[in-house]
Chain A
Amino acid sequence: MNMRNFLSYSFACLVLVLILGLPYLVTTPESLHKENIVRVLTYSSFINKWGAGPEVAKLFEEKTGLKIEWINAGNAGLVVERLKFKKDLDAPDLIIGFDQFSVHEARKDFEWKNLRQKVSLDFPTKLPAESQFHDFIAYDWAPLSFVYREGEIPPATKLTDLLKPEYKDKLILQDPRMSSPGLQFFLWVLTDMGEMKGFEFLNKLKPSIKIMSPSWSSSYSIFKVEKPSMVFSHFSSPFYHQHEKAGHTFKSMELENPHPVQVEYMGVPNFCGNCEGAIQLAQFLLETKTQKILMQKNFMFPVDERAMEGTPFVLPNVKYAKPIESLSFIKRKRELINKWKKVFY
């Protein structure tokens, strides 16, 4: 073996590593609990460059002089788990991105400020009743439905239509164990039809299911490639296509059954360092101008309905399922998931 060549080569590789690592070395570590900084823990797609985060941070700093330091929690489903382990190291002042189910989990492990007393909810809203809590405040929401391409498959008018032969192998769902929309669909069926009939329906639905994906993003990507198909998604998803490309054919189905609703929440934990800054940011996220940004970046409906004025975002003329009903099921999550497994295993 030519040791000299080998050592020169290894040295060159190490120099390359140093050159590549240099920009990360000069990045200063984040500072904890500074008066002019609000630390926000949220899911990654909120803070990446096409998410709402960067614009919100810029406008918030202009308005209040407070900087936002984002803490990336990665997957939205892992926010609560991350808090359990890293609350002292992350030291977040505000957490953005809970849904109805993770709010329930977050309450079990932590205490939260009564945000409803601190922020103003004085705006017109179409958010279904009982969706706002005392500790967690909704900042956007959307009914869930089936998104399809017009002309590919006939739109269903009620849930039971999905059992028809024309939908065989067409439905792309999410696994309720891994995905929040997947859990929404599962609990929707149980809420709408009752537990026994709901499981019977799920059993009959199996031939219509093309795939049960681990996440919303993979299911939506498969839907974009796999034709003909339809995917369980937010009612507002077609607005993305409208925003990006004219002449699209993406539509959401309007069913007779009350649609389930996905609500995104924020909360201020009792252990917050800059609690005042966190509350200011929570209020800022509810302002009409910010609501518009959230709507156009998250492709969800704003809680302040005035943000939709003059935009293509229009609420569907459908009934909404009461959030409280699916929450009663969530308390029996393990038992219901085991029953779900009996159907699908």
Chain B
Amino acid sequence: MEKSILLVASQFFRKLIFLSVLGGLIFPLLFLVSHFSLQKIYWDPFLIAILRGAFTQTALSLVFTITFGFFGALSLFSLRRSLTEKQFYVLSFLLISPSFIPPIMVVLLIAKSLSYLPTGLEGVVFYHAIMNIGLVSVLLHRQIDKKAKSFARDNLVSGVSCRRFIFRGLLPEMRSDLSLLSFYFFILYFFSFSVPFLVGGSIYGGVEVFIYEKILLFGQWGEAIQYSFYLFVILFLLSKVFEKRENTHFWSSQSLSNYPRKYSPVSFIIGPLFPVVLLFIGLSLLFLNNWWAIDSASWLSLVRGTWFISLVTGILTFLFLTALSYAFLQNTIGRWLLSFVYPGWVILGFAFLLLPGESTLARMLKTSVALSFLYLPFVYRLIFHQVLKDLTFQVKVSSTFPVPWRKIFFNVIFPQVLPSIAFLSALSSLWAAGDFAITGLLINSHSSSTLAYEMKELMANYRLEKALMYMPSLLISSLLLFLLFSGIAYVSRSKNIS
């Protein structure tokens, strides 16, 4: 009797934790909605055309990103063998870098290095793929590493060819991970704002512009929020399509050196490395032609602002993900988080603008909270839902023993999810470093500005070349932040007995 009361209390507490995180995510929106009356039903006939364009560009972007990213992931195994752990972190960072550099910079640098600016559908697909192939490679590498090493070795022993291994073995095995990853990128591309709007033209200009125009051009917040709600419903229905089947997992404790070289040709790295090379060519071309002195006092303040906002965003993401892993409700109400997406940065930014707290520090903290709220559903979808789901069986077995939930969490769940939490916090922190939209809305003075925001401001004052001078600082700051968060997993793993 006492045991069942404790069990119910523990479950209630976990649900409470989960609902606190979800409530935190929804609160700013409810706060904003409370300022408008939503009595009228709006319908814009152009929504259908916008959705059609968004679906087309999303589908194509997805195919290119996942395909090249998948082969890039395989090549990372070969490279990992020849690199130290720190070198591999740096390589991972470089591959991820196009995904967090402000999109306008990626567009400009690549246009410079190619001497060509692809536009329309081809432009959107090209830039989406360029920005995310590296991220997909790194993510899939992590998942394959966890699941398919021993499976790959068995295939090698049986003399299976590389082609057969990939198409008959690995791909079906990774079906659920690919499905979740595809869902993540589907949402990312479907709601993508900068790239479609910069190069897509009208039809492929993205759905978020449709919401933004209601606010910016007509001042119709109620209408914008209502369209956001429609999109949320569409997304929720789509999440059902992408809902995956369970995998048979091939867990392995073998070291990475056992992963067969035959199945991980180094040449596949060309896909994810290509965008990085283009970015560096573009950057060096612009650097060679222009050289501006950077004011060191202002540079230091910008680096400090970037570090503060990114670090706090990363830490908040870390805390939210830890809370979600403690709740461990991904198989029940946790699925709601899969479908959750914030309806546009403008709506989220204004919600936080209205929240109290006007001091510089309060505004900086509000910026970080807003950014962590914005990224949390993304990182959850990206791999975290799957990571938690993979532990279901182990947790079920542990729960049969008479041990409190706290012990199961600290001994079974947390040690296994910690590397993923650290990696996702690092990602969240990198994205925060590259943000200028929310930061621009909430930050009130130059002394609390960030590198990315300063770059955007310089561009608004004709000074593109000077803006590019801040790019190395942004990249180095981001690299250090990435290593800092990756370090959490590293130090906690040392002296670890698996």
Point out residues on A near B: beta carbons under 8 Å.
1-3, 5-6, 8-10, 13-14, 16-17, 20-21, 23-25, 27-30, 44-45, 47-51, 70-72, 74-75, 77-78, 80-82, 84-86, 89, 105, 175, 177-178, 210-218, 220-222, 224-227, 237, 240-241, 244, 299, 333-334, 337-338, 341, 344-345
Contact = CB atoms under 8 A, between A and B. Distances in A.
A13 B415 CA distance: 19
A72 B443 contact: yes
A89 B487 CA distance: 41
Lowest 3 A-B CB distances belong to which pairs? A344-B202, A1-B415, A24-B361
B311 A86 contact: no
B218 A334 contact: yes
28 contacts: A1-B493, A2-B491, A2-B495, A6-B418, A27-B359, A27-B448, A30-B358, A45-B457, A45-B461, A48-B457, A81-B215, A81-B350, A85-B354, A177-B213, A178-B209, A178-B212, A214-B197, A217-B459, A220-B464, A222-B111, A222-B117, A222-B198, A225-B117, A225-B464, A226-B111, A226-B117, A299-B462, A344-B202
Interface string B432-454: 00000000110111111000000
Contacts of A14: 315
A221 B459 contact: yes
Given A17-B315, A85-B35, A85-B353, A240 B462 contact: yes
B23 interface: no
Interface of A, helix, strand, loop or mixed by DSSP: helix
A306 B198 CA distance: 39
B111 A9 contact: no
Contact of B209 (A50, A70, A214): A214
Given A2-B492, A345-B49, A24 B448 contact: yes
Contacts of B491: 2, 5-6, 8-9
Contacts of B359: 24, 27-29
A177 B217 contact: yes
A211 B457 contact: no
Contacts of A29: 358-360
A210 B462 contact: no
Interface of B: 35, 46, 49-50, 104, 107-108, 111-112, 115, 117, 119, 194, 197-199, 201-203, 205, 209, 212-213, 215-219, 298, 304, 307-308, 311-312, 315, 346, 350, 353-354, 358-361, 364, 414-415, 418, 440-441, 443-448, 456-464, 484, 487-488, 491-496
Interface of B, helix, strand, loop or mixed by DSSP: helix
B328 to A, nearest CB: 17
B386 to A, nearest CB: 21
Contacts of A227: 115
Given A70-B445, A210-B117, A299-B462, 14 more contacts: A1-B415, A2-B496, A13-B484, A24-B360, A27-B360, A27-B447, A80-B219, A177-B213, A222-B117, A225-B111, A341-B202, A344-B203, A345-B50, A345-B203
A345 B440 CA distance: 30
